[in-house]
Amino acid sequence: MKWYCIPERYDCIDAHNHVWGTPNNGPLNVEQTKQLLYSADCLGIRKLCVSYPITKPGVTVESMRYVNDIVVEAMKMSDRLIGFCFVDAALGQAAVDEVKRCVVENGMAGIKMYHQQFLEDDVQAPVMELAAELGVPVLMHAGKCTDPATMASQPYLSNASNFLKAVKKFPKTTFIQGHIGGGGDWEWNLRILEEMDSDNYFIDISGSVIDAGIVRRTVNAVGIDHVLFATDCSMEEGVGKVQAADLTEDEYMKLFSGNMKRIFARRRV
């Protein structure tokens, strides 16, 4: 092992993580959030981008606001937690208003989307245009799942081909493709991404899948300037698979924080 804890010089940012509420729409799960911060301490992760996505269809204005209020609570609990605002663009103006509330009024740093719609669908346009105007990234849950159960339960799950379409359709918006290791045929995604040629495209390495070579091959496919460190709650998996990639010092610096700081610098509000 090179290190059991990511060295401070990398100023590590986890680009994709989560906080959760307590049952029955209760307040922030403080104990779980403390556990997350403890784990980050163990592994040398300085800051974490957190969201609370609704993972099923049927998002309402109320449920969308509730999950984002939980993220605001988390941001108040620790300044190491950087909020991402969950929205379902199908809610139209309410989704746009929610982005403004979360990003402009409450200081969140990005937008989180799940698989309620494909990334490039027309319905996404108002949110994508606002994200571009505000200069904040859109992080979307993604994967190329090949098992019948996941394909049935996530029919609008975006994969790399949806990101290729989205960067063309919304050329001023910054995108983060969620978790190359989040489950699914990651090699398929990487073969598609060999065609990606956009400064506005990034991919994070999070997820529980730690297949040999996954990070190195992601870097080879899209270039180190487009890869972000992240865990999506799979903490040791995230740190361990980066070590397995045997990156150079310059590559570590970009992956652990340099690329994410470049995204944050695009903010206009």
Partner 1 sequence: MLFDINTAVGHWPFRQIPNQTLPELRRYLVSQGIGGAAVSSTNAVFYKNTQDGNLEIARELEDYDGFFVGVATLNPLYAAWERDLETCAKLGFRALRMLPKYHAYEWSAPEAQAMIAKAGELEMPILVPHELVNYRQRHHLEPEKPLNFNEFLKVAEANPNTNFIYMETGVKPDGNYPKNLYFEMSRYRSSYGDVLATLVKNVGADHVLFGTGSPFKAAEPAILKLHTSKLFGDELELISSENAKRLLKL
Among 39, 78, 161, 220, binds partner 1 (CB under 8 A): 39
Q: What is the DSSP string of 142-175?
A: B----SHHHHHH-TT-B-HHHHHHHHHHSTTS-E
Closest separation between CB of residue 106 and partner 1, Å? 26
Closest separation between CB of residue 257 and partner 1, Å? 19
Stretch that binds partner 1, among 88-96, 125-133, 177-185, 254-262 (CB under 8 A): 177-185
Distance set, CA 11 to CA 45, 81, 84, 242 (Å)? 7, 14, 19, 15
Binding of partner 1 by 148 (CB under 8 A): yes
Q: How many residues does the chain have?
A: 269
Q: Which structure tokens are listed for 192?
A: 């598609």
Q: What does the alpha-carbon distance between residue 189 and residue 194 come to, in Å, rounded to a whole number?
A: 9
Q: Give the side-chain half-sphere CA count within 13 A for 144.
A: 15
Binding of partner 1 by 199 (CB under 8 A): no
Binding of partner 1 by 147 (CB under 8 A): yes
| Main-chain phi, psi angles of 16, to 5 degrees | -150, 100
Binding of partner 1 by 13 (CB under 8 A): no
Which is closer to partner 1, CB of 45 or CB of 103? 45
Binding of partner 1 by 36 (CB under 8 A): yes
Q: Which structure tokens are listed for 222?
A: 């899209």
How does 189-204 read in b/e, with b if 16+ C-beta sit within 10 Å?
bbebbeebebebbbbb
Binding of partner 1 by 80 (CB under 8 A): no
Which is closer to partner 1, CB of 78 or CB of 198? 78
Instruction: Kindly state the number of chain residues that form the binding site for partner 1, as judged by CB under 8 A.
Output: 39
Binding of partner 1 by 209 (CB under 8 A): yes
Closest separation between CB of residue 145 and partner 1, Å? 5
Q: What does the alpha-carbon distance between residue 11 and residue 7 come to, in Å, rounded to a whole number?
A: 8
List all residues 6 or more positions away from 258 whose beta carbon is below 8 Å from its beta carbon: none
Stretch that binds partner 1, among 89-97, 103-111, 141-149, 192-200 (CB under 8 A): 141-149
Q: Which structure tokens are listed for 12?
A: 């590590």
Binding of partner 1 by 77 (CB under 8 A): no
Binding of partner 1 by 239 (CB under 8 A): yes
Binding of partner 1 by 213 (CB under 8 A): yes
Which is closer to partner 1, CB of 212 or CB of 265? 212
- Can you give the binding site for partner 1, defined by CB under 8 A? 1, 4, 32, 35-36, 38-39, 42-43, 143-150, 183-187, 208-214, 233-237, 239-241, 243-244
